[in-house]
Amino acid sequence: MIKLAMFDLDGTLFDTEKANYLAYKQACGEEFPVDEEFFRLHCMSRSYKAFLPKLGVPETRFKEIHDKKIECYPHYLSSVRKNETLFDIAAALKSTGAKLCIVTTASRKNTEQLLNQFECADLFDLLVTQEVVTKQKPAPDSYLYAMEYYNAKPGECVIFEDSETGLKAAEATGAPIYCITKF
């Protein structure tokens, strides 16, 4: 029986690539220009601390730019697409008594904004966002945090992921993984 189902947010539950790209493009401005292809290849599903240096952003400016991205993000939520099939699977798992958890490198604020936009926040029992753990994906810390929180063993869990970074994190937990490639 599945005790805990863990879901990545960006690219798994929602297609947020365009919204994230536009928010970061606005946040970085002309000082640190980012194009869509670069964003897709180097930024999606990664912590801002990992990709901002590739844009030439000094570490002293990371928080400023990330905070601005968080402010800009809600303006682009209309470009987000929900993975309806995976939400049906999540609801079915919940009906069996499984706990549902989002495990993401996104901020808590942006995660909550997205869930509220699509009126699905009540479906999830726990949000493990970038503020919860110090080591982000590909480290398994965020998944391990959720497993420990619910005292769930790998065999009692299932993970839904889409990115190479997230899959590395998920694999390190020993739990079964379903890879989302498109929806």
Q: Do 123 and 56 reside in the same domain of the chain?
A: no
∠ at Cα 70 (15, 18), nearest 5°? 30
Indicate the length of the chain as a whole number.
183
Q: Do 160 and 97 reside in the same domain of the chain?
A: yes
8-state DSSP, 102: E
Token digits for 161?
């992921």
Residues β-bridged to residue 102: 7, 127
Q: Do 73 and 88 reside in the same domain of the chain?
A: no
pLDDT on residue 170: 98
Q: Do 45 and 116 reside in the same domain of the chain?
A: no
Domain coverage including residue 145: 4-15+81-179
- Separation of alpha carbons 54 and 172, rounded Å: 27
CA-nearest of 106, 97, 157, 153 to 125 is: 97
pLDDT digits (tens, 9 = 90+) for 21-69: 999 999 999 999 999 999 988 887 778 888 999 999 999 999 999 999 9
Provide mean pLDDT across the span 132-137: 94
Could you say which of 28, 52, 78 is where a domain stops?
78
pLDDT digits (tens, 9 = 90+) for 74-122: 999 999 999 999 999 999 999 999 999 999 999 999 999 999 999 999 9
